[in-house]
């Protein structure tokens, strides 16, 4: 929908993306109202003052249908459930319900690289931005990664590319959004509590490619059968990354082999990931996807290699915390779904004592039986989903339930022996016990380091 002076917009949710949306709309002359479920005492006073200064009406403490009166469109934040009564009322009134992607559609004056998938999208998005900077480009990096995607338009002259991490929630309401380069890394059960089924969740991911046109590029992780089957429109250039011979970015013995033809020029390049922080099996795939994306933008091999060597993966992703009495402790708190947990275990060579659990997202934990049976010697569970996970996995592994992260770390150490690996890979959301996966990972690391100090003190 065209944003014009005087158009009336109601934004639902005043999180980071919601506030960015309000700023975007106000800057374009829209008359904006915003509704948030929090009480006024829980909203940043600086934000409230800015809203007042800019004539933005604020409804707080819940959402009412009456607040929609006179609206031309409704924009829910990406974390807002689409079955809220206020959105049902908007549909009944025939109001367009748009996401931030729909507002941005067609408005980026630079190439757009959009990354989605169940796992790895933050690492790949960050890596693409890093590789572009290594090639002396100036990318905007945002979306689900932390910086709202509409923040690009606050200073559009400063960038020559937009690299966006996109969640299924954002893609649900993508409108006519079209990336020049779209990456679908993988699909595994996630957010089924919102989408209702794996098919619906996958369908949201596939929205990435719906409006691509001839000459655009689709990059698919073909080791994943659902990603490999993504419907791509005629004329869109399709490239694969993975471990099979047909991949344009193929992983062979810890290296990425690039086999790419662009404008009649053949690129045959090899990138050794051994000396980098991207040498794990999971990050090899992430690196292959990112290399393929930046190669599409003409980045030279030397710049790509330099960027790979200097890249530091985002925190809470297979991060080494400490080694205590020969036992390695690894923080993969970002493994918030079944697919991420499976991938983390698949890359482990040593026997694993696994710490898992949290808030259930509707996944089927029996899908983990094969990899857990092969890789895990003991399973320590905590959080709301502990009972579900125990029922699904105790046929294949010794299991116990604890009440806190401190207890989980100590019980894991008690059953581990030298050479084992204690892995925090929850396979669940964190919001039952923590503010997010980052806090969960920090608490895990703190408890591990505290345990190490105690053992050192006690000799």
Q: pLDDT by residue (tens digit) across 317-360? A: 888 899 999 999 999 999 998 988 998 998 898 999 999 999 99
Using the Cα atoms of residue 381, residue 427, residue 437 and residue 38 in order, give the sign of their dihedral: negative
Q: How many domains does the chain have?
A: 3
Burial (CB < 10 A; 0-12, 13-18, 19+), residue 245, is exposed
Domain termination residue (choose one: 247, 281, 310): 310
Phi, psi of 67, deg, nearest 5: -70, -15
148 and 270 share one domain: yes
Cβ-contact 166, 208 below 8 angstroms:
yes
pLDDT attached to residue 191: 66
- The domain that holds 268 is classified in CATH as 3.40.1190.10
pTM of the model: 0.86
182 and 45 share one domain: no
Burial 39-55 (b: 16+ CB within 10 A, else e): eeeebeeebeeebeeee
What 3-state DSSP class applies to 405? helix
pLDDT attached to residue 164: 98
**52 is in which domain, residue-wise?**
8-98
Phi, psi of 285, deg, nearest 5: -65, -40
pLDDT attached to residue 263: 76
259 and 339 share one domain: no
Q: Mind listing the pLDDT tens digit of every residue in the chain (459 residues)?
A: 678 888 999 999 999 999 999 999 999 999 999 999 999 999 999 999 999 999 999 999 999 999 999 999 999 998 888 889 999 999 999 999 999 999 999 999 999 999 999 889 999 999 999 999 999 999 999 999 889 999 999 988 889 999 999 998 899 999 999 999 999 999 886 666 666 788 888 999 999 999 999 999 999 999 999 999 999 999 999 999 999 999 999 999 999 999 998 778 899 999 999 999 999 888 999 999 999 999 999 999 999 999 999 999 888 988 889 999 999 999 999 999 898 899 899 889 899 999 999 999 888 999 999 999 999 999 999 999 999 999 999 999 999 999 999 999 999 999 999 999 999 999 999 999 999 999 999 999 999 999 999 988 776
pLDDT attached to residue 118: 87
pLDDT attached to residue 256: 98
21 and 156 share one domain: no
447 and 300 share one domain: no
Domain termination residue (choose one: 68, 98, 128): 98
- The domain that holds 93 is classified in CATH as 3.40.50.720
């Amino acid at each position: 929908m065209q944003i014009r002076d005087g158009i009336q917009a109601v934004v639902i949710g005043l999180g980071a993306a919601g506030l960015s949306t309000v700023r975007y709309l106000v800057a374009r002359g829209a008359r904006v109202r915003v509704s948030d479920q929090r009480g006024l005492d829980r909203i940043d006073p600086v934000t409230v003052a800015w809203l007042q200064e800019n004539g933005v009406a604020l409804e707080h403490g819940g959402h009412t249908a009456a607040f929609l009166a006179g609206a031309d469109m409704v924009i829910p934040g990406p974390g807002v459930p689409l079955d809220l009564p206020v959105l049902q009322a908007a549909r009944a009134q025939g109001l367009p319900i748009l996401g931030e992607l729909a507002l941005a559609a067609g408005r980026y004056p630079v190439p757009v690289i959009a990354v989605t998938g169940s796992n790895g999208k933050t690492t790949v998005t960050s890596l693409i931005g890093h590789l572009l900077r290594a090639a002396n480009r100036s990318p905007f990096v945002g979306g689900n990664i932390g910086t709202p995607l509409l923040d690009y338009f606050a200073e559009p002259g400063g960038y020559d590319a937009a690299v966006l991490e996109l969640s299924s929630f954002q893609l649900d309401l993508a409108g006519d959004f079209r990336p020049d380069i779209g990456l679908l890394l993988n699909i595994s059960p996630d957010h089924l509590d919102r989408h209702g089924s794996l098919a619906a969740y996958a369908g949201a991911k596939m929205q990435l490619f719906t409006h691509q046109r001839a000459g655009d590029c689709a990059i698919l992780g073909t080791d994943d059968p659902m990603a490999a089957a993504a419907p791509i429109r005629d004329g869109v250039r399709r490239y694969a990354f993975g471990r099979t011979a047909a991949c344009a970015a193929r992983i062979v013995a810890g290296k990425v082999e690039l086999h790419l033809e662009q404008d009649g020029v053949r690129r045959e390049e090899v990138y050794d990931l051994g000396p980098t922080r991207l040498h794990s099996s999971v990050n090899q795939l992430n690196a292959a996807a990112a290399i393929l994306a930046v190669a599409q933008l003409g980045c030279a091999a030397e710049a790509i290699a330099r960027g790979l060597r200097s890249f530091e993966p985002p925190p809470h992703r297979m991060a080494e915390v400490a080694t205590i009495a020969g036992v390695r402790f690894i923080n993969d708190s970002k493994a918030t779904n079944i697919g991420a947990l499976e991938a983390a275990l698949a890359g482990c060579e040593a026997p694993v004592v696994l710490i898992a659990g949290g808030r259930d997202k509707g996944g089927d934990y029996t899908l983990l039986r094969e990899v857990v049976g092969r890789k895990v010697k003991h399973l320590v569970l905590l959080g709301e989903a502990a009972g579900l996970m125990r029922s699904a996995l105790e046929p294949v592994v010794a299991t116990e339930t604890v009440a806190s992260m401190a207890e989980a770390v100590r019980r894991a150490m008690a059953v581990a022996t030298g050479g084992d690996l204690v892995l925090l890979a929850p396979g669940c959301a964190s919001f039952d016990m923590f503010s997010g996966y980052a806090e969960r990972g920090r608490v895990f690391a703190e408890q591990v380091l505290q345990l190490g100090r105690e053992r050192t003190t006690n000799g």
